[in-house]
Structure formats: structure tokens, C-alpha cells
Amino acid sequence: MTKSNILTDTFGRKHNYLRISLTERCNLRCTYCMPADGIQLSPKDHLMTYEEIYTIAKEFVSMGVTKIRLTGGEPLIRKDAALIMEKLSSLPVQLTLTTNGVIVDKFIDHFKKCGIKTLNVSLDSLDTQKNKEITRRSYFEKVYQNIILLVKEGFLVKVNCVLMKGFNDDEVIDFINLSKNLPVHVRFIEFMPFDGNQWNMERLVSLQEILSKVHSNFEKNDIVKLQDAPNDTTKSYQIKGYQGTFAIISSVTNPFCDGCNRIRLTANGQIKNCLFSSKESDLLTKLRAGESIIPIIQNAVQTKFKVRNGMDTLEKFNQSDMHSNNRSMIAIGG
């Protein structure tokens, strides 16, 4: 196998998109992401240094990765986050990140310097009290103003909203209306099962339920289905006359595994070939031993399941043992 084919799995999927978690820490405590009692953090010396992150990323780029997303925890609370962005921006990739938006105002100039043009900002409610309830912190106003600031500064902003039945599913139309006068791209994400987040099917707001709400509130001719790119995780729409768009990420009820091009690197140097995979491959130990990490990467890609780590039916999703051995979302990086 040539180096250019290492990231192609047995189903012909080419993995050109690397998601790197910079930290397991966060300045929020979102209920769907972090267990109420927190998580056992990796010891500091088990985490990748900025040099190791760059070395691993460079290897992936040599194999065909063209896009890198930085995640967390919250990536921007890592002390050397600016340095990491600067190092990675020297590689021939599209660099972007996912953030909770609390401190993005401190990094505006640095984003521009590093060529970052798109940011995903998590915001799960437009109601101050509900936002406090889900994040266990009081930062709604700061995040909302930072979203407006990012737009004003010329960034493409994607607003990520995890929907949960009985909590924020009544805000679907409010979020879509956010895109009326703001050129933001709202993305509704189905609630997904991870260790410690009390997931069950009854709390899921499905693709069809979201679309039903949309069709009940807008005229059919005003709902425009947009063209999705080959590797998009979203089904994208726009309300006629609105500046922004909205989309649905239906990982549970309508998976998009056929077009998956993603591979994940955790903050402690483990490769996850699928968001739902409980199996990990240790790159960091090999790297520190001075050994090639290519065989580890190759094996991780070649052993990837066709659909969601084998959870190819909703019945399997309902079996807790299928996903209880996975990390919490905060320790994966999304």
C-alpha cells in the first residue's frame, strides 16, 4: 500500500479530515458532553505537547489530510492554543476549530493570522436560564455577543445546537429565525449516546421531527433544500429571504457513514476511527519511542466499521453496552 492510500478504508472512504482534541478540560459543563461528576483527566505528561501535535498532523498531511479541526474540551483554554494554531497554519490544510465561544474575542486577530475563516460555536439554547441549566454556567450573553462579533469580523459562523426533547426542542424555529438577519449557519444535532450523558431514545429529536416543525411554521415554497457537498454530515436548508441557513446532523436516525472522511486524535494521542468507537489506537507511545506511527494509523483506518462502530440499527443504539465503553464527548472532541 502506498502512502497516499493509507487513509482509504476497506469501503473506499478516503479520510482527508483530521479532528484534533487539544484538551480534555472545558470552562463549561454541558450535560450531554460531561457527566455530572466530571471525568478522570489524563495526567499532564500523557497529553500531547504542541510539538507532538504538529509532528502527528504533519504525518497525516503527508498521507492526504487537507482539513484539520481543533476541538476540546474547549480548545482555546489550552495555554499554548495560539502557538498550536500558528504551527498548524504552516501546513497546507484548511484549519478551523469548534469552540463554546466564551473567549473567542481574545483570539480574533490570531484566527486571522492563521488563516482560520470558519468557526463552529456551540449554543444549545437562546434562553438565558435554559442555557445556564445545560452548560451549568452563566455565559449566554457573552457567547451570543461573541457570535455577533465573529460575524462582524468576517468569519463564517456555524452555530451547533444539540436538541433534546422536552428541553430545547421548542426553540427550533427561534434558532432558524436567528439566521434571518444574521448570516449564520445553524446546525441542529441529534442527541447522541456517550458515557455518562444519560442518553435514551425518548430524548432524541429526529430529523423528521425537526422538519415537521419547520413545515408547520413556514410555507412550503419558502423552504429551500440546499445542495450538500459529498462529505457533508448535514442536510442543509434555507428559508427564502434569510441571510443564513440551517441544517440537520442526524447521526442516529439518518447516518451519513457512507461519505465519512473523518478520523479523530484525542488529547492524549489516541486515534479513534469513529466517533462511536470504543476502540482506540495509541499513537503517542509509538511517537515517543521514536517508532513509525504509520502502521498504527493504517490499522485504525482498515478496521473501521461500515456504520457507526457496528451500531447499524436503532435497536443496537438502544443497547447501552454498545456505547457505554466509549469516552464521554468531552474526552473525544466531537
pLDDT the model gives residue 294:
96
Looking at per-residue pLDDT, the higher value among 216 and 253 belongs to 216
Percentage of the chain with pLDDT > 70? 86
- Please report the pLDDT score of residue 68 as a whole number: 98
Of 268, 267, 249, 269, the closest CA to residue 259 belongs to 249
Contacts (Cβ under 8 Å, ≥6 apart) of 147: 101, 121, 123, 157, 159, 182, 184
What angle is formed at CA 323 by the lines to CA 320 and CA 326, rounded to 5 degrees? 140
Computed over every residue of the chain, the mean pLDDT equals: 88
Whether residue 322 has pLDDT greater than 70: no
Q: What are phi and psi of 7, to 5 degrees?
A: -90, 10
pTM score, two decimals?
Answer: 0.89
The mean pLDDT value for 33-47 works out to: 73
> For residue range 168-195, what is the model confidence (pLDDT) as tens digits?
999 999 999 999 999 999 999 988 665 5
Mean pLDDT of the region 270-295 = 92
pLDDT at 218 over 80: yes
Please check the confidence at residue 197 and state whether its pLDDT lies above 50: no
User: Distance between alpha carbon 333 and the CA centroid of its chain, in Å?
Assistant: 7
For residues 307-317, give the mean pLDDT: 68
Stronger pLDDT, 123 or 313, i.e. the higher one: 123
Confidence of residue 22 (pLDDT cuts 50, 70, 90): very high
Q: What is the pLDDT of residue 324?
A: 53
Listed in sequence order, the residues at least 6 apart from 155 whose beta carbon sits closer than 8 Å to its beta carbon are 111, 116, 117, 118, 119
Domains of the chain: 3-332 (3.20.20.70)
